[in-house]
Every structure is written in C-alpha cells, then in structure tokens.
Amino acid sequence: MREEEVFQAIAHRVAALDYSDEVFVRPGYLDADGSWVLTPSADDVRWLEERGSQAHLAAEAVGAVDPLPPLEPASAEAVAEAERLLGHPLPPLLRRLYLEVANGGFGPGVLGVADGYTDDLERTAVDRLDPREPSGLFPVAHWGCAIYSYVDCSEPSAMMWGFDPNSGLAERSFFPEGISLTEWLSRWLEGRLRQPLLVKDPQTGVWRGATHAEHEAEAREVAELAARISGAGGRDARGEGRRR
C-alpha cells in the first residue's frame, strides 16, 4: 500500500471505531456450543479480547461487545515537543496520523505523544524516550511483556526496529525488522503484522529477528493457548483476564 492509502485506511478505521486489535467484551464464558454466556459482574467491568477471536465473535453474536471510544488527534504543540525531545522530525505519515487522526491508540497499540495513548505503565512515546537507547529511534508501539516497536526517525526511509528484552540481551535487544513504517502499518491493516520477536538461530546460536515461518509458529502456539484458556473461563489471548 502507498503512504496515502495507508493514511486513508487508518483514518477510516478510526472514524468507524474499528481501530484496535482488541475489543471491549462484557464478562462471560464460552459454553459447550461455543456461545457466549454472560456472568454477573459490576456494570463498568469489561474484558479486552482479541478482535476476531472465538470469544469476541461469540460475544458479538449476543450483543456483549461495546464500541471502542472515539479517538482525538494530538495537538501541534505535543507533536513539536516530541520532535524536539527526539532530536529528529517524525516520519511524515506518523506525524500526519497524530495531527489529523488520533493521538495513538490505533493499530497494534500505537503510542501517543503528550496526553495520548499510553503503554501498560501509563507512558506515552515521549515518556519512553531514553538517551541510553539508539539515537533517532522513536517508540511507536507497545505489544506487552516489555516488547516495543520503534521507527528510525534519523533517516527518510523510516525503517522499523524491534525491541524484545525477554532474551536477556539488554541493549542488544534492539534489532532491525527490515520494513518501513508504511509497510508496517500496511501489514497491520491487512492482518499480517506480527510483534517483534528475537530468536536464537539454531545453526549459529546468534540472536536475530524471527523469520516469517517462526512468527507463524509462534502465532499458532498463542492461538492454541487462547483457545484452551477461553474455553476454561473466557480469558483473553494472554490469559490475563484484563479489565477496563
């Protein structure tokens, strides 16, 4: 997809309140027939389920999925502050999305600038900036488990980097993903985006970014785990039973 096509597609998803990989579901569980059975809970309790999952589709069939809240764009001042602190301009596509569409919250968990969408520790992309990290890398999305996607703002091609500290490699947990920001967002729109994943090469013993096949194997394992957990009690794909 071209940059303008990506921008228009994301703007449409945000306007339609269909902008996230997760949905708000009223608590319940899947019965033996795969139907969503609501369970007693406080009126304001909602679970986050993965869009397209068995739990989401079953809950949707009985009207137990709430719409996502509308998103608001970032201010010009917030974007300018982010660029000043980073020391580089943001890629034009990301900058335009912030200013014209939403201050984060869309896609796989795009972080906002000041007053925008935050990670699980209530930090925006600006809050996550760290002078100890590679210069020019902007933390554009949070995936959970301390895994982030970064975009390299120091060069025009705006290439993506992954950060997966679960390998124990500390600062070497950064690795290039070989795709641009435009391609990264295109993959999300097409349902093909995978979170950054470091693996140890079985031949060389060197840590590297996962191949497509390794990502697919990981996705199958997660889906199988989600199915088992969901059948046991209506939890989300990570088994956290997260609430909003």
Nearest to 162 by CA among 182, 143, 177: 177
Residues facing residue 36 across a β-bridge: 30
Decide: helix, strand or coil at residue 180: strand
Cα distance between residue 39 and residue 138, in whole Å? 42
30 Cβ contact partners less than 8 Å away, ≥ 6 residues apart: 36, 37, 54, 55, 58, 230, 231, 234
pLDDT of 160: 96
Nearest to 180 by CA among 154, 201, 202, 161: 161
pLDDT of 7: 98
29 Cβ contact partners less than 8 Å away, ≥ 6 residues apart: 36, 37, 39, 233, 234
Determine the distance from the C-alpha atom of residue 124 to the mean position of all C-alpha atoms in its chain, rounded to a whole number.
13
**pTM greater than 0.85:** no
Asked whether 71 and 101 are in contact (CB, 8 A), the reply is yes
Decide: helix, strand or coil at residue 145: coil
Indicate the helix (H) or strand (E) that contains 181: helix 181-189
How does DSSP classify residue 167? G
DSSP string, 168-179: S-GGGGEEEEEE
pLDDT of 60: 94
- Per-10-residue mean pLDDT, the chain, length 244: 97 95 92 92 86 92 93 98 98 98 96 97 96 94 93 97 81 86 97 86 82 77 69 44 39
Cα distance between residue 227 and residue 225, in whole Å? 5
pLDDT of 231: 59
pLDDT of 241: 39
How does DSSP classify residue 126? H
Cα distance between residue 189 and residue 177, in whole Å? 18
pLDDT of 1: 93
